[in-house]
Chains A and B, each alone.
Chain A
């Protein structure tokens, strides 16, 4: 099970807590959408590789 965590803002404590539990003992990756010019090509590759994508607030 590979989880991709995508962040639309800097993760606060609540998000960090949830991500930690969801990621536990799993293969994980992440993507930062807060940067000025996100590499959407790379994001799509990551989405296709993951079993589940979670786009956090």
Chain B
């Protein structure tokens, strides 16, 4: 059985890598969870973001970061639900509950 993969995203130029890695991992039968924080929450406005949400098993963003980046928390990015506007606890889950970890 394929290992599970948690991806922690902190950079603003990494969405293509996140999508490419998620696609490759899913093709191997892996469970993939992605969490975006701080400036990387801007990537939730990228047209490709919703496609990532469809592909990965779980995608969430840091709602506090999103707010600090100037977005309205009621304006939920396409592909997410209000439950996925989350806290840093999601990062803890990536570390504790997933076999492999990658920061981007």
Q: Are B24 and A40 in contact (CB under 8 A)?
A: yes
Q: Would you call B51 an interface residue if the criterion is a C-beta within 8 Å of the partner chain's C-beta atoms?
A: no
Asked whether, in the complex, the Cβ of B3 is within 8 Å of the Cβ of A48, the reply is yes
Among B15-23, B54-62, B76-84, B85-93, the stretch in contact with A? B15-23
A: contact size bracket = 10 to 19
**Chain B, 20-37, CB within 8 A of any chain A CB:** 20-21, 23-25, 27-28, 30
Is there a chain A Cβ closer than 8 Å to B102's Cβ? yes
Give CA–CA (A47, B28) in the complex, Å: 12
Q: Does A19 contact B (CB under 8 A)?
A: no
A20-57 contacts to B, CB under 8 A, are 33, 38, 40-41, 43-44, 47-48, 50, 53, 55
B48 at interface (Cβ–Cβ under 8 A)?
no
In Å, the complex CA distance between A55 and B18 comes to: 12
Q: Give Cα A8–Cα B80 distance, bound, in whole angstroms.
A: 27
| A53, closest chain B residue (CB) | B102
Q: Could you tell me if A55 and B25 are in contact, using CB atoms closer than 8 angstroms? A: no
B104/A41 in contact, CB under 8 A: no
Instruction: Please state if B17 and A38 are interface contacts (CB–CB under 8 Å).
Output: yes
- Can you report 11 A-B residue pairs in the complex whose CB atoms are below 8 A from each other? A8-B104, A33-B17, A40-B17, A40-B21, A44-B5, A44-B24, A44-B30, A47-B5, A48-B2, A48-B3, A53-B102
Query: Which residues of B approach A to under 8 Å, CB–CB?
Result: 2-3, 5, 11, 14, 17, 20-21, 23-25, 27-28, 30, 99-104
